[in-house]
């Protein structure tokens, strides 16, 4: 199992998922380049570039094929992998995936220009980011000072802001391409969406699921963009049920 996180966060978002899946699967939760504790600096931050980095990681770990759980940006990257390298991908769990046309997302991601990193770092001070998380990304009151300490740590140097800027230069094109290609993803997929998602609204769950040939959908109440953090027990149960026959064969 490979867990791929979203934009401007890190593998810390899977802190409740890892212990639930690891007794059954070998679980790998990397940080995207430029995010969290991964290396920073120039590179290809398009969906294809991020997918290539995942493939190199799989090769380095001797993993020929994996199931993927992708949240937001990570969902878009997982779908790009399934499109370009279907032999390396098993099943998909897509959590509000970046697979819809860009205009539906928050306006702060829709800005186009050459200085995204500076823009992000200027706009998203800690208090501003905390407000955004509380109002758009999370429905339950889990964003407190300790939570913000963990989220803010990889952002403090500003290098992650630059990486987010590089991702955003490609985001509109990448999301549109993946959305258009969804009918070509012949993988069993579970699409999970939070009912109160303020980043990628839940109304798009049906369109993503409907364009995937082998997909089923679950909308979770009481959570927003990050159900694996807000309702971890329910989320983990859904994932394990979706993969139950795979787990049985592996054992």
Structure tokens at 115: 């200085």
Those residues of the chain that have pLDDT short of 50 are 104-114
pLDDT given for residue 116 in this prediction: 58
| CA atoms of 122 and 155, how far apart (whole Å) | 12
pLDDT at 113: 42
What pLDDT, on the 0 to 100 scale, is given for residue 87?
Answer: 97
Per residue in 124-149, pLDDT (tens digit) is 788 988 998 999 999 999 999 999 99
Q: How far apart are CA 179 and CA 33, in angstroms?
A: 23
- 139 as an active site residue: the answer is no
Number of domains in the chain: 1
Q: Which long-range contacts (CB under 8 A, 24 or more apart) does 42-48 make?
A: 42/166, 43/166, 45/163, 45/166, 45/167, 45/169, 45/170, 46/167, 46/170, 46/174, 47/76, 47/77, 47/80, 47/170, 47/174, 47/177, 47/178, 48/80, 48/84, 48/174
Please state the pTM of the whole predicted model. Answer: 0.92
Token pair, residue 213, equals 């040939």
Distance CA 176, CA 244 (A): 32
The predicted-structure confidence for 67-79, as pLDDT tens digits, reads as follows 999 999 999 999 9
**What pLDDT is recorded for position 103?**
57
Point out the catalytic residue in the list 67, 139, 196, 225: 225
CATH number at residue 100: 3.40.50.1820
Query: Whole domain around residue 179: which residue ranges?
Result: 2-250
């Amino acid at each position: 199992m490979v867990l791929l996180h979203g934009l401007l966060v890190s593998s810390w978002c899977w802190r409740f998922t890892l212990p639930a899946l690891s007794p059954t699967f070998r679980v790998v939760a990397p940080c995207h380049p430029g995010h969290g504790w991964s290396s920073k600096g120039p590179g290809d931050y398009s969906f294809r570039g991020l997918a290539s980095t995942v493939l190199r990681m799989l090769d380095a770990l001797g993993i020929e094929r994996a199931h993927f759980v992708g949240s937001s940006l990570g969902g878009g990257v997982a779908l790009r992998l399934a499109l370009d390298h279907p032999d390396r991908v098993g099943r998909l769990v897509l959590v509000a995936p970046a697979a819809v046309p860009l205009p539906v997302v928050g306006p702060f991601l829709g800005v186009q220009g050459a200085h995204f990193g500076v823009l992000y770092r200027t706009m998203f001070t800690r208090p501003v980011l905390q407000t955004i998380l509380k109002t758009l990304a999370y429905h339950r009151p889990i964003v407190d000072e300790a939570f913000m300490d963990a989220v803010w740590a990889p952002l403090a140097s500003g290098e992650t802001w630059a990486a987010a800027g590089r991702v955003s230069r490609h985001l509109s094109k990448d999301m549109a391409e993946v959305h258009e290609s969804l009918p070509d993803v012949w993988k069993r997929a579970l699409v999970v969406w939070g009912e109160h998602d303020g980043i990628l609204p839940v109304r798009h769950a049906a369109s993503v699921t409907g364009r995937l040939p082998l997909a089923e959908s679950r909308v979770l109440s009481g959570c927003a963009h990050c159900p694996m953090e807000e309702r971890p027990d329910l989320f983990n149960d859904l994932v394990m049920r979706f993969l139950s026959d795979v787990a049985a064969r592996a054992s």
